[in-house]
Structure 1
Amino acid sequence: MKQALISAAAVLALSTLVFAPVSAHAADTGYNIWTSEYTVSKQQLQSAIAPQFPRKLRYMDIFDVTLSNPRLGMLPAQNRMETVVDAQIANPLLLQRPVNAVLTLSSAFKYDPSTRTLRLDGPKVDKVDSTDLPPQYAQQLTALGNAAADQFLRDYALYTFKPEQLQMNGKTFEPGKITVEQDAVKVDINEK
């Protein structure tokens, strides 16, 4: 029963973190003409995903899972973005009380020129905290979570550049190096 619970939590938590992509309309990115880079703030990304939560799901017609309170953080030293989400797993028939956990995931970024999108790259579960599960189950949850993160979050589009954002004065530009800073993601723009 605990193995099924762990599988349910890992798959649901990670598969549902696939939130609606941030479009150029949803977040007014800033272009700095002096440094030739676009900036998408942490607040813009947080504002874009916040309406997706809380999210209630059912897994295997057995477990009710509620994901809530997504919190984004930036990891400049690793050039990654971090997402922390609260998870609650319930089943009145199998569990005396709901199981609560906090999942911490991180991901790098990459640019896909064919779709003009900023995408997640190399997502993984960094940490699982639960006072409701013994530590040995947290390790299994992390392993299953990494498999689910790779399957569901790899290459997920977070931001789509409009064509006019990549053209100026008759020249065409393309995003290059992506840098995660303390409060933003910066994308270098290079002439093609």
Structure 2
Amino acid sequence: MQRFLKSRRTLFATPLLLASVLLPGCATGPRTVTLGETELNLLLSRQMPVEKRVLELLDTRLSAPQLRLLPERNRLALSLQLSWRERLSGHEGQTPLTLEFALRWDEATRAIRAQQVELLEPGSAGGSGRQALASRAAKLLAEQWLEGQAIYRFKPDDLTKAEALGLKPRAVTVTSRGVEITLAAS
């Protein structure tokens, strides 16, 4: 449970050297920080597996993350392996999941968050009616877990120089190069 709560705070956490990468000079105007697909996958893999117990009845585990860029739709796709076990009966199951989501900037927490999460590939429920129900519940949990999740969080010092120049994160866009965060005038 503690591991889930830690990963719930931020999916990806890494220092961002804005002073040396983003703002090499004193020129003003929009600047862009790009988080590439490889970097995002590396950051994500550090946060897995995610384990959660549901109502003391169902243990779930999300693992084997693989993130893909969907620039044509300004979204990301996240493939995961979902494993679950009913605590009372001991029945177990697993299924691959793919979740698709958009991104938004959250000024209050200085984070980029997942939004509009959709389950793309439901996987096979298989087994008895009870197992199918447990599988559906676990899938719903995965979808709810990702909604609002911090994908990237700026550290307080990361934006200090940008803010001194009057720049703040404004747009978050998924491109073929990665997730681009545009910093523009306040």
**TM, length-normalised to structure 2:** 0.71
Q: Which amino acid aligns with 2:184?
A: N
Shift of 1:165: 3.0
The unaligned stretches of length 5 or more in structure 1 are 1-14
Given candidates 4, 12, 29, the residue that maps to 1:22 is 12
Counterparts of 1:154 and 1:131, CA distance in 2: 22
Question: Considering only aligned residues, what root-mean-square deviation do their CA atoms show, in Å?
Answer: 3.7
Shift of 1:88: 1.9
**Cα separation, partners in 2 of 1:76 and 1:173, compared to 1, 3 Å:** same
Q: Which amino acid aligns with 1:88?
A: S
Q: Secondary structure at the match of 1:167?
A: helix
Q: Which amino acid aligns with 2:95?
A: A
Counterparts of 1:169 and 1:105, CA distance in 2: 34
Aligned to 2:165: 171
Does 1:65 find its partner at 2:60?
yes
Counterparts of 2:108 and 2:39, CA distance in 1: 24
Task: Answer whether contact 1:175 1:190 (CA < 8 A) is retained.
Answer: yes
Q: Secondary structure at the match of 1:129?
A: coil
Aligned to 2:69: 74
Q: Secondary structure at the match of 2:44?
A: helix
Task: Answer whether contact 2:172 2:180 (CA < 8 A) is retained.
Answer: yes
Task: Answer whether contact 1:69 1:86 (CA < 8 A) is retained.
Answer: yes
Aligned to 2:115: 121
Task: Answer whether contact 1:22 1:48 (CA < 8 A) is retained.
Answer: yes
Counterparts of 1:191 and 1:35, CA distance in 2: 7
Q: Which amino acid aligns with 2:99?
A: L
Deviations 1:29-59 (A, max 9, x none): 7538797201112222222221232344433
Equivalent residues, number: 172
Shift of 1:132: 2.9
The unaligned stretches of length 5 or more in structure 2 are none
**Cα separation, partners in 2 of 1:37 and 1:133, compared to 1, 3 Å:** farther
Question: Percentage identity across aligned positions?
Answer: 19
Counterparts of 1:66 and 1:189, CA distance in 2: 36
